[in-house]
């Protein structure tokens, strides 16, 4: 199992003032922050990042939303990072998310679901490198 995953604190969560609380959940869940950037994605960046969903009916809505305001992109490190972060954030649809998960506490809808998490080790590497150069990631040893 890999030790890295990629996370986004999405525009709804930043706009609603939840950035600090979600950042704190990350630290409390024992992730190391290898990189963190507050940014506003361009539409082209959002389209590239979510290219895997290009054929889905929600692609336009998703990429418009993700480029609608500031978000925070993060490279996280922990043992079994992908699964650990997915457990911390809860189900994609906040209506299905477990009590105590980030999406249960901060997400408003399926489309505006507060955070993103990689779904596999392979995608974690691809997604981290979409937003961070190797030089930007903090070496922990």
- Is 53 a residue of the active site? no
| Least distance from ligand CMP to the Cβ atom of residue 24, Å | 21
| Least distance from ligand CMP to the Cβ atom of residue 18, Å | 15
CB neighbour list of residue 66: distance below 8 Å, 6 or more residues apart = 8, 10, 11, 41, 46, 49, 50
Distance, in Å, from the CA atom of 139 to the CA atom of 141, rounded to the nearest integer, reads: 6
Which range in 37-45, 67-75, 98-106, 109-117 contacts ligand CMP by CB under 6 A?
Answer: 109-117
Query: Looking only at residues 22 through 81 of this chain, which bind ligand CMP when binding is defined by CB under 6 A?
Result: 58, 61-62
Which range in 26-34, 107-115, 120-128, 131-139 contacts ligand CMP by CB under 6 A?
Answer: 107-115
Nearest CA to 114 out of 40, 5, 18, 4 is that of 18
| Residue appearing with tokens 């990072």 | 81
| Least distance from ligand CMP to the Cβ atom of residue 141, Å | 30
118: β partners: none
Distance, in Å, from the CA atom of 119 to the CA atom of 100, rounded to the nearest integer, reads: 20
Applying CB under 6 A, the residues found at the interface with ligand CMP are 58, 61-62, 92, 110-111, 113, 116
Q: Which residues are catalytic?
A: 116
């Amino acid at each position: 199992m890999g030790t890295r995953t990629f996370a986004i604190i999405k525009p709804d969560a930043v706009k609603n003032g939840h950035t600090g609380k979600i950042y704190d959940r990350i630290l409390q869940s024992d992730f190391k922050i290898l990189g963190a950037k507050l940014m506003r994605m361009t539409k082209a960046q959002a389209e590239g990042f979510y290219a895997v969903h290009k054929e889905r009916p929600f692609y336009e809505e998703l990429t418009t939303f993700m480029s609608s305001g500031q978000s925070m992109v993060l490279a996280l490190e922990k043992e079994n990072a992908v699964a650990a972060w997915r457990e911390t954030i809860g189900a994609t649809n906040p209506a299905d998310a477990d009590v105590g998960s980030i999406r249960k506490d901060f997400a408003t809808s399926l489309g505006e679901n507060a955070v993103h998490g990689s779904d596999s080790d392979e995608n974690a590497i691809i997604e981290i490198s979409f937003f961070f150069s190797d030089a930007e990631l903090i070496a922990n040893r």
